[in-house]
Structure 1
């Protein structure tokens, strides 16, 4: 019985050590985001394009998946859990919030590549 418990604890210790290593950031372009209420905008999120979808990867491993309508160029969350709220972003920049998270993204990164 004691051997079983110590083996289980040793296995858990090894798994805990695996999570401590820094993960490789996902491929894509850095964009400004503020994750959570009261957070300041900084370029710590990564934008990945997959067809008409945009995936915004957060530094802690979370992400938001959005779709971009090719006709209207409007963004909408894919999961629909929270509403995208447009914000004032300035010329050439798309600014919006989803829940407590805010994003500031150059429109050139959101538009599909020219053919």
Structure 2
């Protein structure tokens, strides 16, 4: 009887030493679901203060002003940027402040906006872009 118990304990110990298997398909689905939930919460990807990696931690408020749609992008630390959505094909421009906004197309439905050392990835409809 003690041999059976010691064999069982040995198998349990060996099982505990093995690295857990990660199902990459399941992980990708979970990450996609989290990403979709963040978008629905109004969070966008941003790389703040020169950070190399984007994180979905900035939030966006939309407000119609006399000049057009104003996007206020809030940083987790309380800072913010205001952008004016243009109708002339430029995408967005800085709505206030001394620094200008630089816009680059990421893909058919996303732009990258840099203002100072902060970069934001924003959803956008790009005229003439074809979905792949």
Q: Tell me, yes or no, whether TM beats 0.5.
A: yes
Match of 2:57 in 1: 44
Aligned length: 81
Corresponding residue of 1:90 = 107
Asked which structure has the greater CA Rg, the reply is 2
Tell me if 1:75 matches 2:83: no
Deviates more, 1:70-79 or 1:82-91: 70-79
The alignment's TM-score, normalised by the length of structure 1, stands at 0.63
RMSD of equivalent CA atoms: 1.8
1:88 deviation in Å?
Answer: 4.1
Give structure 2 stretches of 5+ with no counterpart. 1-40, 126-132
Take 1:65 and 1:94, find their aligned partners in 2: how far apart are those partners?
16
The answer to whether the 8 A contact 2:92-2:103 is kept is no
| Matches of 2:63 and 2:114, distance apart in 1 | 21
Per-residue CA distance 1:34-84 (angstroms, 9 max, x = gap): 111134101000011001100000000000011112353621111141111
Query: Relative contact order, CA 8 A, sep 6+: which one is greater?
Result: 1
* Structure 1 residue aligned with 2:27: none
- In 2: Cα distance, 1:95 partner to 1:107 partner: 10
